Amino acid sequence: MKVAVVGVTGMVGRIMLKVLEEENFPVTELIPVASEKSVGKEIDFKGKKYKVVDMLSAIAAKPQIAVFSAGGGTSLDWAEKFAEVGCFVVDNSSAWRMHPEKKLIVPEINAHELTENDLVIANPNCSTIQMVVALADLHKAFKIKRIVVSTYQSITGTGKAAVEQFENERSGIEGKMVYPYLIDKNCLPQCDVFTDNGYTKEEMKLVNETMKIFNDYTIKVTATAVRVPVVGGHSESINVEFEKDFELEQVREILKNTAGVILQDDLDNKIYPMPRYAEGKNEVFVGRVRRDFSNERSLNLWVVADNLRKGAATNAVQIAKYITKFIK
């Protein structure tokens, strides 16, 4: 099976290679793809070296699967061109997420919706993925009415240049500023650009993508997304109101058995999720599970995941794994 990784030299692209290897994905030929300035560079994968190629060369090679992580503009320009040669495209950008004819997939929740005709498949936003994975089975049991989420998002979500800014600040070096302010020892209440309604694009992704993934447009969602000087992963404080009442033991039992979730909720031993310990892991970690005593049928959760893994590369590879059954 020929697999193209588009944006292979970026942070997520490199993690995709790791996850493909860890998952023992049936790659017989890797086609690493990047911008013109990276063409010709060598990429190591499973002990072999592959040269980075451009888009047209990758399409000419007719891969069966292409995993994109190269930005929305690139995806809009090229995803359907790969699809035209019969290639399944799993796209990690925001380009296709809200397109009415494209599926938005978190495998634990809605991979069963995919068919052999879905050649361009959208990977959700990182902060949306970890939230819906944590809430999916609770939604089935108690039906979500409203979600209030505040995110504490790693600088790795912005990319390599943001990590460089952070490291420069720590070292007292003046360098390129990706953020409008210093990020070290600071919190920026802005992830992505502001929209006309006063929310950022990131916040609106949490709103719109949640409803699409759950296929339930009655769910009300409001979000505040904050960038924090952290590398390991994204954290989320989630308050969720259900239509049905619940017992905390029911909630914990459901979370223990939710696919892709690890419950870390032992207050006596100060065990709860933290981004430092989620880094490099594929699961979504949930803790600080407690009833919201200020509102009936409401629950508070603390949810953490590595945004480059389950929030991006791992979810994309899981989708790719699912669609291999459509490849003859």
Residue 251 to residue 299: CA distance in whole angstroms: 9
Contacts of 216 (CB under 8 A, 6+ apart): 139, 144
pLDDT tens digits, 13-32: 999 999 999 999 999 999 99
Active-site annotation holds for 112:
no
The domains found in the chain, sorted by start residue, are: 2-124+312-326 (3.40.50.720), 127-307 (3.30.360.10)
* 139 SS3 class: helix
Identify the pLDDT of residue 119.
Answer: 98
List 99, 112, 126, 139, catalytic entry: 126
Mean pLDDT of all residues in 274-279: 98
Q: Is 234 a catalytic residue?
A: yes
Q: Which of 87, 139, 191, 234 is catalytic?
A: 234
pTM of the entire structure? 0.96
Residue 81, sorted as left (phi over 0), alpha (psi -120 to 50) or beta, turns out to be alpha
Q: Percent of the chain beyond pLDDT 70?
A: 100
pLDDT tens readout for residues 118-153: 999 999 999 999 999 999 999 999 999 999 999 999
Nearest partner of 63 among 44, 46, 35, 82, judged by Cα: 82
